[in-house]
């Protein structure tokens, strides 16, 4: 009986040692596996992104002509980078904040990158404040800071806009009750291109001599401006005189054009 118990105890100890060895072996494998460097595709955070430290050349004012619209100017930047620069960009935005060009800058020696930007194929010259957005990328795909620079495009030979047509009724019969909607409009044009037209306003003079100045009109596109208001059963009768003006992007004003409406009772 004693021998049987001893044998069972011995077997139990052997099995327990075997289990402990297996656990130790498995733990060792897991430990070394976890120590292996995982290739997650993430760039080592110890790398430093390139930095644009200075814009060494960019325009302040660029003169252009509406008859042959082209915007040209040189640009240059200075970059600090631990790694090789693969791309250097100058993205150009018009006054409406639409990107109209992306220029690639080339290394011009040392840490300098430059280009001669030239924007052609412009159907209509838009004058005003433009923006250049500079940014570079290194060969690891790291992007630099964004550096912004503004410049103004001017047309030295700008011509003022002009009013081609006004559209008003000769007379309006006031309603017996409630109100009716009245819409007046004008057609404007500009020898520098219809895109150069910015706004239209008018002065309204009542029959009693009271004048309301610079009432804004809503731009409908294609040179058409409109203004709508309600005509009520009450109010002054007689001639209301409207004097219209159009403004362009260079702040040049058109010649004023006047028209009138006679308001009458039914």
Residue 85: pLDDT band by 50, 70, 90 thresholds?
A: very high
- Report yes or no: 186 and 231 within 8 Å, Cβ to Cβ: no
Q: Are residues 91 and 184 in the same domain?
A: no
| Other Cβ atoms closer than 10 A to 184 | 20
Higher pLDDT, 167 or 40: 167
Of residues 61, 50, 54, 119, the one with CA closest to residue 87:
50
Of residues 126, 145, 121, 127, the one with CA closest to residue 135:
145
Q: Are residues 252 and 208 in the same domain?
A: yes
Residue 56 pLDDT greater than 70, yes or no:
yes
Q: Are residues 55 and 149 in the same domain?
A: yes
Q: Are residues 138 and 171 in the same domain?
A: no
End position of a domain, from candidates 154, 182, 204: 154
- Hunting for tokens 């058409």 — which residue is that? 224
Q: Are residues 133 and 69 in the same domain?
A: yes
Span 137-158, average pLDDT? 96
- Cα separation, 80 vs 53, whole angstroms: 7
How do residues 192-207 score in pLDDT, each as one tens digit? 999 999 999 999 999 9
End position of a domain, from candidates 154, 180, 209: 154
Q: What are phi and psi of 29, to 5 degrees?
A: -65, -45
Flag whether 4 is in a domain.
no
End position of a domain, from candidates 123, 154, 185: 154
How do residues 14-38 score in pLDDT, each as one tens digit? 454 544 454 444 544 444 444 444 4
Assign residue 135 the CATH number of its domain.
2.60.40.2550
Beta strand 61-63 with 71-80: parallel, antiparallel or unpaired?
unpaired
Residue 134: pLDDT band by 50, 70, 90 thresholds?
A: very high
Flag whether 13 is in a domain.
no
Flag whether 22 is in a domain.
no
CA 146 to chain centre: 15
CA 217 to chain centre: 25
Q: Are residues 59 and 148 in the same domain?
A: yes
Q: Are residues 72 and 130 in the same domain?
A: yes
Q: Give the pLDDT score at 1.
A: 43
Residue 41: pLDDT band by 50, 70, 90 thresholds?
A: low
Identify the domain containing residue 171 by its residue range: 162-264
Range of weakest confidence among 42-46, 78-82, 133-137, 221-225: 42-46
Q: Are residues 78 and 146 in the same domain?
A: yes
Dihedral (C-alpha) 202, 206, 212, 217: value to the nearest 10 degrees? -30
User: Which residues does residue 49 pair with via DSSP β-bridges, in sequence order?
Assistant: none
Flag whether 232 is in a domain.
yes
Flag whether 226 is in a domain.
yes
Residue 45: pLDDT band by 50, 70, 90 thresholds?
A: low
Domains of the chain: total: 2
Q: Are residues 127 and 203 in the same domain?
A: no
Flag whether 37 is in a domain.
no
Residue 42: pLDDT band by 50, 70, 90 thresholds?
A: low
Q: Give the pLDDT score at 47.
A: 82
Q: Give the pLDDT score at 44.
A: 53
Q: Give the pLDDT score at 195.
A: 95
How do residues 205-231 score in pLDDT, each as one tens digit? 999 999 999 999 999 999 999 999 999
Q: Are residues 181 and 260 in the same domain?
A: yes
Q: Are residues 166 and 84 in the same domain?
A: no
């Amino acid at each position: 009986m004693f021998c049987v118990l001893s044998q069972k105890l011995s077997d139990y100890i052997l099995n327990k040692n075997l289990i402990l060895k297996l656990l130790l072996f498995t733990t060792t494998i897991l430990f070394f596996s976890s120590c292996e460097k995982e290739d997650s595709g993430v760039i080592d955070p110890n790398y430093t992104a390139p930095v644009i430290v200075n814009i060494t050349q960019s325009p302040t004012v660029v003169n252009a002509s509406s008859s042959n619209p082209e915007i040209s100017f040189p640009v240059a930047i200075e970059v600090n980078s631990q790694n090789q620069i693969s791309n250097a960009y100058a993205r150009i935005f018009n006054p409406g904040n639409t990107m109209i060009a992306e220029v690639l800058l080339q290394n011009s020696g040392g840490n300098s990158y430059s280009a001669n930007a030239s924007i052609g194929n412009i159907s209509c010259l838009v004058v005003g404040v433009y923006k250049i957005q500079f940014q570079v990328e290194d060969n690891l795909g790291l992007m630099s800071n964004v550096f912004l620079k503004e410049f103004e495009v001017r047309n030295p030979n700008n011509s003022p806009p002009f009013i081609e047509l006004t559209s008003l009724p000769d007379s309006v019969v006031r309603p017996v009750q409630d109100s009716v909607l009245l819409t007046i409009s004008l057609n404007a044009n500009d020898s520098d291109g219809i895109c150069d037209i910015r706004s239209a306003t008018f002065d309204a003079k009542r029959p009693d001599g009271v004048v309301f100045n610079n009432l804004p009109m809503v731009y409908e596109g294609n040179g058409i401006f409109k203004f709508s208001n309600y005509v009520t059963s009450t109010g002054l009768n007689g001639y209301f005189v409207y004097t219209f003006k159009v403004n362009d992007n260079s702040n040049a004003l058109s010649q004023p054009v006047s028209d009138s409406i006679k308001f009458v009772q039914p």
